[in-house]
Chain A
Amino acid sequence: MCGTCGCGNGENGVSIHNPKDLKTNEHGHHHHDEPAHEHTHDGHTHTHSHDHAHAHEHDHQHAHHQKKVIEVEQDILHHNDVMAARNRGYFEAKNIFALNLVSSPGSGKTSLLERTLKDLKTEIPFFVIEGDQQTMNDANRIAAIDIPVIQINTGKGCHLESDAIFDAVKRLNITDNTVLMIENVGNLVCPSMFDLGESKRVVIISTTEGEDKPIKYPDMFHTSDLCIINKIDLLPYVHIDVEKLKQHALKVNPKLQFIELSATTGEGMNTWYDWLKKQKN
């Protein structure tokens, strides 16, 4: 809908792919030459289109031209919330533990996920939904470890919404008593507002990011249940006060739990696995 603002229209922009259905890494849709989008910033031409020309001669009223006030009182994200509730009910009925993984780009979400799946796949049956604006790259990485995965490409959209999850879940054929990992679009702002129906929300932050991120982007930390601090193997090389980071995050969300780990070296991964297994049961 609007090319310059950084967002797609959420409907035509979203596409859902199974890496097994695609032979190459190329994603299937071609970018049809986008028509220059028409931002009508130049004062919309109000051409008063009252086309009944003062029909004073007949005296019956045109009832449908009367003003009417509708007291709507409806939440704007109502549709997303309803679909999220629908997903949640489905997950609960099938005993699927669903996690929504959120973070800024580059915090190591996919690496963490890859390692987790490799280490636990014999113990826990996993399903994965990958969210990115473009490419099948992440889904291909997951498919390479033999885990059922669906890729949602949001086009210009900056977050996943619950209706796309609903469609992706249908395509995944998830079995009962499993864990569903939803890797959201790398973005620390927008995904916070959109409930996907997840059981828990996990925010990932890496030691290469600033310790004040939780108060710079409070919404995401406010809505998360667990905060994973990744890349602790880099601590000797970066200037970050992890305690301060936690303090900032706790100011925003006093109930937030923390796990420090490195998806590269494996340090701390067991704490995360214990959390996962405990929450699942």
Chain B
Amino acid sequence: MHELSVALGIVKIAEDETAKAGAEKVELIELEIGTLAGVDFESLEFVWPAAVKDTVLEFALKKISVLKGKAKCVDCDTVFEIQHLYDSCPECGSNFKGIIQGKELRVKALEVV
């Protein structure tokens, strides 16, 4: 249940950026979360109302772009989609891979008023 920490991290970023912009609240928040980031989307939804209560995000619309996992094989350079961290290369079977997408966990943009 580290999703609450994640949600509070999002709140902190939103509070800071909203204050910097001299705005009052956030109308839309865009997040980018990879499937390998270690975040359970349902848990994030569950903790969200408690985390954003009495903050600039309380009534904000939340848009999450989910980025699928992608890796590049160290041995044969094949780029392939991965669902799990333990997926091996479909071409050569190697476990050595660099993850090139799917670890993202970031606030992309805010629409403030």
Residues of chain A touching chain B, judged by Cβ–Cβ distance below 8 Å, are 1-2, 5-10, 37-41, 44, 46, 64-80, 157-159, 161, 189-190, 192-194, 214-215, 218-219, 222, 248, 250-254
Contact = CB atoms under 8 A, between A and B. Distances in A.
B79 interface: no
B23 to A, nearest CB: 6
Contact of B8 (A10, A194, A254): A10
A9 B8 contact: yes
B66 to A, nearest CB: 15
B92 interface: no
Given A6-B1, A74-B13, A1 B107 contact: no
Among B3, B4, B88, B106: residue with most chain A CB under 10 A: B4
Contacts, number: 130
Contact of B110 (A10, A70, A251): A70
A192 B38 contact: yes
B21 A7 contact: no
A1 B51 contact: yes
16 contacts: A2-B4, A5-B43, A5-B47, A6-B1, A40-B53, A44-B49, A44-B59, A67-B111, A68-B112, A72-B17, A76-B31, A79-B9, A157-B5, A190-B2, A215-B86, A219-B38
Contacts of A8: 4
A7 B109 contact: no
Interface residues of B, number: 43
Contacts of B108: 71-73
Given A9-B8, A75-B106, A194 B2 contact: yes
A219 B85 contact: yes
Contacts of A64: 22-24
Given A7-B3, A70-B109, A218-B86, 13 more contacts: A5-B4, A7-B4, A68-B21, A68-B112, A68-B113, A73-B108, A75-B106, A79-B9, A79-B12, A193-B38, A215-B86, A218-B84, A253-B85
B67 interface: no
A72 B6 contact: no
A254 B96 contact: yes
A69 B86 contact: no
Nearest to B96: A254
Given A5-B1, A67-B113, A192-B38, A251 B88 contact: yes
Contacts of A159: 2, 5
A2 B50 CA distance: 6
Given A70-B110, A75-B106, A10 B5 contact: yes
Across the A-B interface, give the 7 residue pairs with the lowest CB-CB distance, nearest first: A190-B2, A7-B4, A251-B86, A218-B85, A2-B50, A76-B9, A6-B1
B112 A40 contact: no
B81 interface: no
Contacts of A72: 13, 17, 106-110
A241 to B, nearest CB: 17
B41 interface: no
A69 B1 contact: no
Contact of A69 (B10, B47, B107, B109): B109
